[in-house]
Amino acid sequence: MLRRLPLGFVGVFAAAIAIAACSSSNATQTISVGPNFPSQSLYAAVVSQNAVSIYATGSPAPKSTAGPLYEIGGGSTTIAGPQYLTFDSSSDLWVTNWLASTSAGGILEFKALATGNVLPFQSFSLGAIRPRGIVRFPLIFSGTTTSTDILAVAITDPSQPAAFNSGIEFYTASFISGGPYSLIAGPATGLNVPGGIAVDNVSPEPNIYVANMQGASVTEYTLPSASPTASPTATPTASPSPTPTPTGATATPSPTVAPTATPANIAPVATVVGPSTGINQPTAVAIDGKNYLYVADQNSSVCTPNCPAILIFAPLTAGTNSAAPYKFIAGKSTLLVAPTDVKVDNNGYIYVADEVNGMGVIYVFAPYATASGNVAPIATLNSPGAVIGLGLTP
């Protein structure tokens, strides 16, 4: 059941563990897990392979590798058009799904260290709603002192009027089958086909950052006022994780739950927009430990003619931010072609998902403090297919 690719760790082991499946039958499923991947291991959503690749990038400086060491993939995973990734506080992996051929969207959860053709621990069908970026953040419910994992998901919903069809949905991770409990959408939001999404480390409640793929902007929001009043404890009656089935069988996702949240038509607290910013065709955003903002742009105006770039901005101020980026990575030496996501690890290294001749590649750049402008990547991670989203384990 464990799927291990040709390049692998030496002297590590894989094991099968039993986990309590979140289902009405209270069944236990056995899944395969890989080695104890170190913190800041890199995961990549390989859309052309319907899989998630796993890399061990090394510390403190990432190293080039011929390809991923492990993957999550196969019929049982129900991965179909993986988009973006995030990890919760338990290091469980969350994946947004969008299968263009059937216009079917969904959200999948895989247990920490899972590899191979495994069943998702939870799944939620979004129907024709298209999800892209996904990010986890902690939220302390009213009247409690413990935090709960919340998921923010960037979506486009073709069933809604044009002014409300771009939004950010909010889910309680432990009870995702209950559907979104809150939604940011409406003409005041400035959302326009949201792509990658990120959160900062402002306490007690983070801010949400979104790349507007057709809006040539990045927008920042505070959390909407609507929020759960308590951590859900009820066991879902649907079966997000099926009872054990033979390898290769197709898992049955949770039934679609119609969103009941009333859209919060709130204006962004900050917007990065304008010719001087270099933002023209943004696909994703990332936030580092100092709340610097990184924007992956496929057609930035920091070059003449326009070019793919990673734009870096100092922490945003409220209102419109129209100044030039603090620094940027762009130019022929960068090898960038069509970046789809960007992530920054705890040491400041910058990971960029890109496309080369229809195949995927992940470039790693040194921290902006030591490298910016027309610089070459310090490492290249090859992919078996086209990559969209990236994720770094906690």
Encode pLDDT of 51-94 as tens digits.
999 998 766 678 888 789 899 999 999 999 999 999 999 999 99
Could you give the CA distance from residue 174 to residue 305 in angstroms, rounded to a whole number?
Answer: 47
Q: Where are the beta strands (DSSP E) in 79-121?
A: 82-87, 93-99, 104-110
Q: Has residue 210 got a pLDDT over 80?
A: yes
Digit-coded pLDDT (tens) for 361-376: 999 999 998 889 999 9
| C-beta separation of 72 from 55 below 8 A | no
Work out the average pLDDT over 130-158.
91
Long-range contacts of 227-230 (CB under 8 A, 24+ apart): 227/139, 227/141, 227/142, 227/170, 227/181, 227/182, 228/139, 228/141, 228/148, 228/172, 228/181, 229/141, 229/142, 229/143, 230/141, 230/142, 230/143, 230/144
pLDDT at 64: 81
Digit-coded pLDDT (tens) for 114-129: 999 999 999 999 999 9
Digit-coded pLDDT (tens) for 251-301: 444 444 444 578 999 999 999 999 999 999 999 999 999 999 999 999 999
Two structure tokens written together for 135: 């990010």
The secondary structure of residue 237, as a DSSP letter, is S
Task: Point out the least confidently predicted range of 262-266, 322-326, 385-389.
Answer: 262-266
Could you give the CA distance from residue 290 to residue 305 in angstroms, rounded to a whole number?
Answer: 32
pLDDT at 65: 80
CATH topology of domain 15-392: Neuraminidase (2.120.10)
Work out the average pLDDT over 373-382.
94
Closest CA to 22 of 247, 228, 248, 177: 177
Closest CA to 258 of 127, 168, 372: 127
User: What residues does each domain of the chain span?
Assistant: 15-392
Digit-coded pLDDT (tens) for 96-110: 999 999 999 999 999
Could you give the CA distance from residue 350 to residue 338 in angstroms, rounded to a whole number?
Answer: 16
pLDDT at 227: 52
Question: What proportion of the chain, given as a percentage, has pLDDT over 90?
Answer: 70
Q: Which residues pair with 154 in a beta bridge?
A: 168
Whether residue 60 has a cis bond before it, omega within 30° of 0? yes
pLDDT confidence bin for 190, thresholds 50/70/90: very high
Q: Which residue has the tokens 């859209």?
A: 263
Q: Has residue 322 got a pLDDT over 50?
A: yes
Q: Has residue 242 got a pLDDT over 50?
A: no
Q: How far is CA 369 from the centre of its chain?
A: 25
Q: Which residue has the tokens 């384990």?
A: 393
- Global pTM? 0.85
> What does DSSP say about strands 147-156 and 182-185: parallel, antiparallel, or unpaired?
unpaired
